[in-house]
Chains A and B, each alone.
Chain A
């Protein structure tokens, strides 16, 4: 494990060196990312000029909702920084046969393929997320109990693990299909559902969608569970959702591992 951590640090260092080589590109990426996020935050602020709560009686008033948004920013920035760049590159590696070079190296292929590129500019959103969370928590009337503060980082990790599992399964699909340029689009559509409180998915269409996004593709557990733990009153029922998030994270990691290994065994390589 220590060796893998050292190798990851070496990858990260190499990526940082590369980013510093193309400084203008790095700064532009940070600005683009921050700009997109700022527009989203402005949109939410606009929404709260018309209403005091997202959904009647849901408890997602302005500050708790911004704690929710901050949680999403932190989780997504980790995934975008550490896993997505490699997954995006995989499409090209499969198509051109670049994956061959990875498979001959004495390391776990999933580790190499999912963590060899780090996009440091994506961490800018995460930093803003931490700031936003601090701002929202300081303005909330409610103070979370100690157990909520202890569970929060664990649940952030669970959220990251669930998204990582999805990234890996999409990457496996790339290996099987030989080309999957819609990987990033598909990822965006999927994760879009996780950006809002689960309570908004109600009614004849919302109900089934909420069930699917909780139990089939557990995307609604990613942000909702940690955000609810920290920004909503912590009750006995909260433990149920905590357990669900932990189980979903473990299942996502195990299933994605199995799917990825099977995909690798069916890798065809590209003609030279």
Chain B
């Protein structure tokens, strides 16, 4: 299954990232269990090829904020590593800002940044201010511009007091904010974010969302984000690319993913007191009773017809109609793809 929303997939702005048939394969050596098998493996190792990314095609326009979604091991981070030139592909082509990433030209590397939520890029034992200064030298940032940008970024994230404190003494959320400041000091045109909010509390997540949205809009920066948090996606991205098993399963707008992959809406009814279950059940929709609250899953096409009848039933104090949560849609997408893969594997 490969769904592409043409309207969303077609770049509306100047294409910044072009990827065609990009693939990355790894040879993985099996590590047998037990001492005897381990000794045998010293002389005869068995290996297999893992296809981390399988012939991906993708175009991203300037100023887009794209989310790469997928289960663990889907190939999201590998794709980011290919696009930032850290690793070389097995097949396929890609250009980012007109450069082939894995040629690692300095002109290219000066124009993008990569932030990995699980890796610390600041000097651990030193205050972030020292890392920023080093960054200024490496990226050849004009001193006046450097100070202006640094001050602007630290103020936006409210971390001015932290930049003189050794990084090892900071909390995870504080460190991530400073990582973002470091990454944006040279004003990159493209920003790759690999799970930037992993392990952060909701307040820190919210601050980072606000910050990224603000900076991206002001600088018209292209951002590609991998995440497992749908809150990141809902807050930041208009376009979603779903990757499973190294291939693109869906590429389209966030709104479209909801329309395309859900058949129903969630209707929540609040009663003054716990309602008569038989009254609700006669409408024939899957429902969940939570005391005075009832949650119904109603076919989207029938909402307008059935809702007046439901509201007419006695004692409805409040009603809300919502889309199925994004987490649920994406999880179902992953599950259906895994089922399809299992069927294909079985029939082989």
Contacts and interface: CB of A to CB of B under 8 A. Distances in A.
Nearest to A103: B86
A267 interface: yes
Interface string A103-120: 111110100000000000
A109 B84 CA distance: 14
Given A104-B84, A272-B194, A14 B126 contact: yes
A268 B116 contact: no
Contacts of A265: 88, 102
B137 A10 contact: yes
B137 A6 contact: yes
Contact of B130 (A17, A104, A268, A269): A17
A97 B118 CA distance: 10
Given A6-B137, A104-B84, A107-B138, A272 B116 contact: yes
Contacts of A7: 134, 137-138
B125 A21 contact: yes
A103 B125 contact: no
Interface residues of B, number: 34
Interface in A1-28: 3, 6-7, 10-11, 14, 17-18, 21-22
Interface string B118-140: 11010101100010011001111
Interface stretch (B32-40, B106-114, B273-281): B106-114
A18 B87 contact: no
A106 B106 contact: yes
B283 interface: no
A103 B106 CA distance: 10
Contacts of A85: none
Interface in A75-111: 96-98, 100-101, 103-107, 109
A109 B119 CA distance: 18
B77 A18 contact: no
A96 B123 CA distance: 16
A272 B109 CA distance: 21
A269 B87 contact: yes
A121 to B, nearest CB: 15
A272 B192 CA distance: 14
Contacts, number: 73
Nearest to A6: B137
B148 interface: no
Given A98-B119, A100-B81, A21 B166 contact: yes
B130 A14 contact: yes
Given A21-B125, A106-B106, A269-B81, A97 B119 contact: yes
B81 A105 contact: no
Contact of A104 (B86, B118, B123): B86
How many interface residues does chain A have, given as a range?
20 to 34
A18 B134 contact: no
A270 B119 CA distance: 11
Contact of A105 (B109, B118, B125, B194): B109
A96 B124 CA distance: 15
* Most A Cβ at <10 Å: residue of B26, B107, B112, B138: B138
Contacts of A106: 106-107, 109-110, 138-139
Contacts of A109: 104
Contacts of B134: 7, 10-11, 14
Contacts of B107: 106
A213 B87 CA distance: 36
A104 B125 contact: no
B61 interface: no
Contacts of A22: 125
A262 to B, nearest CB: 11
Contacts of A266: 88
A265 to B, nearest CB: 6
Interface in B50-83: 77, 81
Given A101-B114, A103-B85, 15 more contacts: A10-B134, A11-B134, A14-B130, A21-B126, A21-B166, A100-B81, A100-B86, A101-B121, A104-B86, A106-B106, A267-B86, A268-B26, A269-B86, A272-B118, A272-B119
Interface of A: 3, 6-7, 10-11, 14, 17-18, 21-22, 96-98, 100-101, 103-107, 109, 265-269, 271-272
15 contacts: A7-B137, A10-B137, A18-B126, A21-B126, A97-B119, A100-B81, A100-B86, A100-B114, A103-B85, A104-B84, A104-B86, A104-B112, A265-B102, A272-B77, A272-B118
